[in-house]
Amino acid sequence: MYKDLFIRKTLAELEEQADSNHNGLKRHLSALNLTLLGVGCVIGAGIFVLTGTAAATHAGPAVALSFVISAFGCLLAGLCYAEFASMIPVSGSAYTYGYATMGEFVAWIIGWDLILEYLFGSATVAVGWAGYVTSFLADFGIVIPASISQSPFVYDTTGLHMSGNIINFPAIFIVVLMTTLLVVGIKESAKFNNIIVLIKVTVILLFIGFGISHIDVANWTPFVPERTVDGHFGWLGVLTGAAVVFFAYVGFDAVSTTSQEAINPKRDVPRGILFSLLICTILYIGVSLVLTGILNYKFLNVEAPIALAINSAGPSLAWLRPIIKIGAIAGLSSVVLVLLLGQSRVFFTMASDGLLWKSFAKTHPKFKTPHVTTIVTGGVAAFFAGFFPIGLLGEMVSIGTLLAFVIVSVGIILLRKSEPDAVRGFKTPWVPVVPILGAVVCFAQMAALPLDTWIRLIGWMVIGFAIYFMYGRKHSHARLKRKNRE
């Protein structure tokens, strides 16, 4: 009865889907656009916040090594993503790859999970954006009351409590603004992202370039602080730091969600994935070394560690502080944009396959974008951003990404067996070693996540299973095609 749960889409069917024009998506994105989309999503809260937090609480100056270790884990998954992207030029990222290798039910699980990742990811970053904007405006005497710029709830070790505030309006504003831009067009969205990426990379390079002369090498000693009684620092601390900063890299998978809008997806999507990973790793390492060199790592557990380091450098770098905040605001804006882009494309692809309501598979007659899914997902993200605290939202982002990485890594091994002769524009090296390592590294980090994160994931998946068995399975295009053939 349930044998069709694992019905797979063949590569030929996926090629046909990519070549058909029924979905109305237009191919505007070059390899440069795709690389900058990846950079736009990865360079955000990670570089402006996580560097200081991970250094102060886990790794010390060796946080630079944490970024290297974390990048290695992402590279393993990225190499697997690249092979899939070179073979399957269809939007949907790991959802589509799962459909081709492990069947519809697994594809549904990962697609529903990716929606969770992108939904809470965009909401989390929007809350961070609101904090930077509020701080930036306060520097000019423009004070936004906490009642309309912070969550009505506080989330701490004892649970969720009322804060006395009403709504986080700035967070809602940025989500609505980015949603509107995505509805208007992918080409316009890519241009906006390109400009934003240029701004924030320039700001980061300014910090590295001017900060080098203020490095005190004494702050790097010891490079790996001794292990303390509460379990921080030492080489285990470096590994823990790698698990923390891992989530600074997760945005590169959003590149693969735009395959149907890439000009040459088989060539350019793998390049966009791998180039964005390389660029971001270099920038992360550079910032972490300069940051911990300017200011001792013990003082970096703050919301804006780069701004704090600039202040400690004295008057000679005071001019850089407002520029850093502008870079952070710009950087977080592009992260919200790309996460909403990825979310709407996964939703759109699932609807195009019949697993979600067909109204979600519509494209705008003028803008040629999936406007229904973009507006719906943007509206839900705006709600969470406006009413929930960043701590609660952030916990939900990581587990979906890691699960996607595990499935993609395992999928490459399966695809090599099921489609050994298929044309591959890019081949993952050292199969099955690389995919096995990728799956193990990612699953190990999933296992380290808090229990309540797993409980929320299970709750989310229960909702997803209900939708799949009540609607998706009955309306699945792949299942209906097989039934008609029989």
**CATH assignment at residue 10:** 1.20.1740.10
CA distance 31 to 92: 18
Least confident of 169-178, 234-243, 373-382, 436-445: 234-243
Residue 261 has a CB neighbour count (10 Å cut-off) of 23
In a domain, 413, yes or no: yes
CA distance 270 to 274: 6
Residue 361 has a CB neighbour count (10 Å cut-off) of 21
Give per-residue pLDDT as tens, 284-325. Answer: 999 999 999 999 998 887 767 887 888 888 888 888 888 888
For the chain, the distance separating the N- and C-terminal CA atoms, rounded to the nearest angstrom, is 15
Report the Cα 254 to chain-centroid distance in Å. 7
Local structure of 80: helix, strand or coil:
helix
In a domain, 207, yes or no: yes
Local structure of 441: helix, strand or coil:
helix
Which residue in the block uniquely carries the two structure tokens 């509805």?
A: 183
Most confident of 6-20, 238-252, 300-314, 369-383: 369-383
In a domain, 359, yes or no: yes
Cα 62 to Cα 50, 55, 221, 307, distances in angstroms:
13, 7, 10, 20
In a domain, 354, yes or no: yes
Buried b (16+ CB within 10 A) or exposed e, 408-444: bbbbbbebbeebeeeebbbebeebeebbbbbbebbbe
pLDDT of residue 379: 95
Which residue in the block uniquely carries the two structure tokens 């070693």?
A: 433
Domain that holds residue 38: 3-481
In a domain, 291, yes or no: yes
CA distance 486 to 475: 17
156 half-sphere exposure, CB direction, 13 A CA radius: 5
| Total number of domains in the chain | 1
CA distance 397 to 442: 14
pLDDT of residue 22: 46
147 DSSP assignment:
G
CA distance 221 to 93: 43
Least confident of 25-34, 123-132, 275-284: 25-34
DSSP string, 171-194: HHHHHHHHHHHHHH-HHHHHHHHH
Instruction: Please report which confidence band the pLDDT of residue 453 belongs to, taking 50, 70 and 90 as the band edges.
Output: confident
pLDDT of residue 305: 82
In a domain, 416, yes or no: yes
In a domain, 486, yes or no: no
Give 16 or 195, the one with higher predicted confidence: 195
